[in-house]
A and B are shown apart, each in its own frame.
Chain A
Amino acid sequence: MMDFGKMLGDEEAMKRFGNTVVAWDLHAKKPKKVMDVPGAPLEIRCAWGANHDYCFTTTALTSKIWLIDEDQNGEWQANDVADIGDPSKIPLPVDISISSDDTKLWVNTFMDGKTRLFDISDPKKPNQVYEAQIGDMVNMVSSSWDGKRLYYTTSLLGNWDKKEGDQFIKLYEWDGDKLNQKFEIDFYALKLGKPHQMRFGAYSLYNMAQTFSAKPKSEIVSN
């Protein structure tokens, strides 16, 4: 990606941001439906509930939350449902994280370094219930399944990060009312570069049987 400042000054380049969300037929590798979502949609997160047929995305340039859901006729639609901060200041939402019970959506805004919590119990009407300053800039947020731990990184892209600014990973605990910082890893101080994304894996995801077992194989039973 080119230098962010250069890009903001390049009129033609600014027209070339993605402005669609596409529902794909993965077998035919063709689009089923192309929905106009202007303003550079970045991340998509779909609700977990078995009957919750909807997803959220946020548009980085226009700073809005968009809901993508199926209407009564089975047609997928995209509609903007909330503003994030003050869009005219380009807070630039980047990563979002949906809670396992589909009631909360964490939204990070890169430019102002904040994280915001939206109540999405009514997906058509998200409303912000909390915000906190994480750093000069913030990129991704990863949540534990129970929603109590939230990890944050700072780096969006090498060429887009603020030239002066801290680079770190932080862990916060969410107690239901506010975020309490638990630790910070300063990437610059430790000469680790810039942290972009986190992955939380589990060995047991790859195999249904017990992974670490004291019993001989023939007696393994599944619960």
Chain B
Amino acid sequence: MVKMLGLIFACFSLFSEAVATDKFPVNLQIPLASGYGVLPYELPAAGTYALPPLGVAHDGQVLDSAGQRISLHEVFGGQYILLSFIYSTCNDVNGCPLSSHVSYQLKAEMRQNALLADNFKLVSISFDPQRDTPAVMKLYAENFKYAGKAGDWQFLTTDSVASLAPILDSYKQDIQREYSLDGQQTTDFSHILRVFLIDPEHKIRNIYSVRFLHKDAVLNDIETLFMQAGMKGFAADNEAKILRQPSKNGFGPGDNKQGYETDAYVTRSEALNHRQGRFADLRALVNQPPLGLPPIPNNDALDLTTAKITLGRRLFYDRRLSLNETFSCAMCHIPEQGFTSNELSTAVGLEGRSVRRNSPTIYNVAYATKLFHDGRESTLEQQVWGPLLARNEMANPSVGHVINKLKSIPDYAGLFEAAFSGKSPSMETVGAALAAYQRSLLSANSAFDRWYYGKDANALNQKQKTGFTLFTQKAGCATCHVIGERSALLTDNQLHNTGLGYATSMHIPGEKRLVQIAPGVTVEVDQAIIDKVGAPKAADLGRYEITQNPEDRWKYKTPTLRNIALTAPYMHDGRFSTLGEVVRFYNEGGITNPLLSPHIRPLALDALEVEALVAFLQALTGDNIELLVADAFAAPIGDHRRQDQQ
């Protein structure tokens, strides 16, 4: 071992007692990386963790140690790879010698591990093509022959710095040659050691640094990958394929903040573990809406095919449809948060830009005759261009920008033509596709539907039945949230003034504002401080902004109440966090103002009646939430780490 290393690592010695001389005194001050010795901690058991892809292991043009031109991917040959960047004159004991040492140990391991020898390969590539010619790499390789003949360790270089550059770039290897004081090039490079573990699909699965590059850590990771792949000798590990377990509130946000207002609150976030979805047959849903919903308006004319719906779904979740490729429709219409956002009262667009209003849900949007809170748009096909082009939402600079991008992305090739009888991406087809997917998000057959339309007397409990009676009689909610004879949209598709918009417009902020800063901790903050760090709040006059009719000031659209339990916070500006607050608001008679809708009046409900109404509202949740959310989870998102990517 010492002899072997002594040949190459001439300027440094590792073992003081063996090789110290006058010419090469030993530096006792550099701590050896743990890769040379024993790991000072225990590794997690192989297979108990995942190694999600960190990126793509790109191809490049290299020379093997016989001088033959070959590509990196050809060298990889469909195996698991440990790829190190080295140079032969490296004299940093914790640099290239370390990675070669670990590779050496792994090569030696292959003598007794046939699975490793057959499926795993070591690759060292030089980043000094000027000195490290194929002949030099062959010489370098010679020193590792003591590891035995099992398995394969390839020593590569390139024919020039220019050929090497794209490889360094794609593996994010930043290297700088060092210069002496008189400006001469030295043989040293300054770089940060990174060793890559790559799988047969050319995905990078781990990147080791000096801190933890160790034969045991690498073997542990390889074993984990082998187990995941179900390779012979290991039981197949399906951990990575588990559908995300639904959280207790049924596929809700991963972070349940119930009880945050008390200091007894304890964090209960759920990690997004191996989330993988399952496509549903949305077309079947469209052709046969669940109990409680009427047929989709214009269903025949729309001709919603699976191809259109699938394409629309792909677009809905594609983050590349925004100016900086970070925002998809689903960033504000989050599937597991009721296709809205439970975590924001009003939306936030690209680069943190402020949006005035709360994101409406997409559930059952097929039946909306007016879109947006102010009802300014009439069809879903047209509506999509609102958020796509809004500067404070997805911020695309033009229609053409989106269309041209779609035309250039390989994974959309042919999809529009196939779905729309030969038509390419256009304003019309993009709208039609997205609308097709959105129309398929039908959700009903709730406890209420089964009780009212399905005549199942036990589908609702007594409290909920009482709530229904209040809803349709004393509280009069059904005036605007309409329930029909054979189906219920729970909206009249009209716009009304409840006083909320008026209150916001006319409200003169107090000197202080209550802000909750931690569980159970609320402070009064000077409004002046808030003003210093905030842009002035945009005005919102509701429907008036569209019609210019003063009678329409502060009128907002009646939303559907289907799935209302899933779509907190409530109202056009998300000001109410709970259904209780909403019901109490209406119980007070909304907010008095000259344009208050005549339907809004104090209801004189007592606390129990309020509870009953809330219970009824909670019975309006459709029975297919998991189906639709799992379908959403399966959709590609424009993520380079996953297979669905270019």
Q: Which residues of A contact B (CB under 8 A)?
A: 1-6, 8-16, 19-20, 25-31, 34, 36, 38-40, 59, 61-62, 87-88, 90, 111, 158-165, 203, 206-209, 211-214, 217-218, 220-223
**Complex Cα spacing A3 to B537, Å:** 10
CB-nearest residue of chain A to B255 = A16
CB-nearest residue of chain A to B192 = A206
With a cutoff of 8 Å between Cβ atoms, the chain B residues found around residue A26 in the complex are 212
Closest 8 CB pairs of A and B: A5-B534, A28-B49, A61-B517, A28-B44, A38-B518, A206-B190, A4-B533, A222-B27
Distance in Å from the Cβ of B572 to the closest Cβ of chain A?
Answer: 14
**Complex Cα spacing A3 to B212, Å:** 40
The verdict on A212 contacting B181 (CB below 8 Å), with A90-B523, A207-B92 known, is yes
CB-nearest residue of chain A to B193 = A206
- A16 to B49, Cβ gap below 8 A? no
Stretch at the interface among B128-136, B345-353, B363-371: B345-353
**Complex Cα spacing A206 to B533, Å:** 41
**Complex Cα spacing A162 to B354, Å:** 16
CB-nearest residue of chain B to A35 = B267
Distance in Å from the Cβ of A36 to the closest Cβ of chain B?
Answer: 6
**Interface: B466 (CB within 8 A):** no
In addition to A8-B525, A62-B518, A203-B190, 5 A-B residue pairs with Cβ atoms within 8 Å of each other are A5-B531, A20-B269, A158-B352, A207-B189, A212-B180
- B192 to A15, Cβ gap below 8 A? no
**Interface: B43 (CB within 8 A):** yes
- B352 to A1, Cβ gap below 8 A? yes
- A28 to B48, Cβ gap below 8 A? yes
- B346 to A10, Cβ gap below 8 A? yes
**Interface: B485 (CB within 8 A):** no
With a cutoff of 8 Å between Cβ atoms, the chain A residues found around residue B345 in the complex are 10-13
- B518 to A90, Cβ gap below 8 A? no
**Complex Cα spacing A38 to B521, Å:** 10
The verdict on A163 contacting B49 (CB below 8 Å), with A36-B266, A206-B192, A213-B186 known, is no
The verdict on A207 contacting B517 (CB below 8 Å), with A12-B344, A217-B11, A221-B25 known, is no
B220, B348, B516 — which one has the most chain A CB atoms within 10 A of its CB? B348
**Complex Cα spacing A28 to B221, Å:** 9
Query: Considering the complex, which residues of chain B in the window 187-238 have a beta carbon less than 8 Å from any beta carbon of chain A?
Result: 187-192, 212, 217, 220-221
- A12 to B530, Cβ gap below 8 A? no
With a cutoff of 8 Å between Cβ atoms, the chain A residues found around residue B271 in the complex are 31
CB-nearest residue of chain B to A206 = B190
**Complex Cα spacing A94 to B55, Å:** 32
- B513 to A213, Cβ gap below 8 A? no
Distance in Å from the Cβ of B89 to the closest Cβ of chain A?
Answer: 8
With a cutoff of 8 Å between Cβ atoms, the chain A residues found around residue B179 in the complex are 212
- A90 to B525, Cβ gap below 8 A? yes
With a cutoff of 8 Å between Cβ atoms, the chain A residues found around residue B269 in the complex are 20
**Interface: B569 (CB within 8 A):** yes
**Interface: B38 (CB within 8 A):** no
Distance in Å from the Cβ of A59 to the closest Cβ of chain B?
Answer: 8
CB-nearest residue of chain A to B273 = A30
The verdict on A15 contacting B257 (CB below 8 Å), with A62-B521, A162-B532, A207-B178 known, is yes
**Interface: B535 (CB within 8 A):** yes
**Complex Cα spacing A163 to B577, Å:** 30
- A209 to B266, Cβ gap below 8 A? no
**Complex Cα spacing A203 to B181, Å:** 13
**Complex Cα spacing A179 to B482, Å:** 69
With a cutoff of 8 Å between Cβ atoms, the chain A residues found around residue B537 in the complex are 5-6, 9
**Complex Cα spacing A185 to B95, Å:** 39
**Complex Cα spacing A8 to B50, Å:** 38
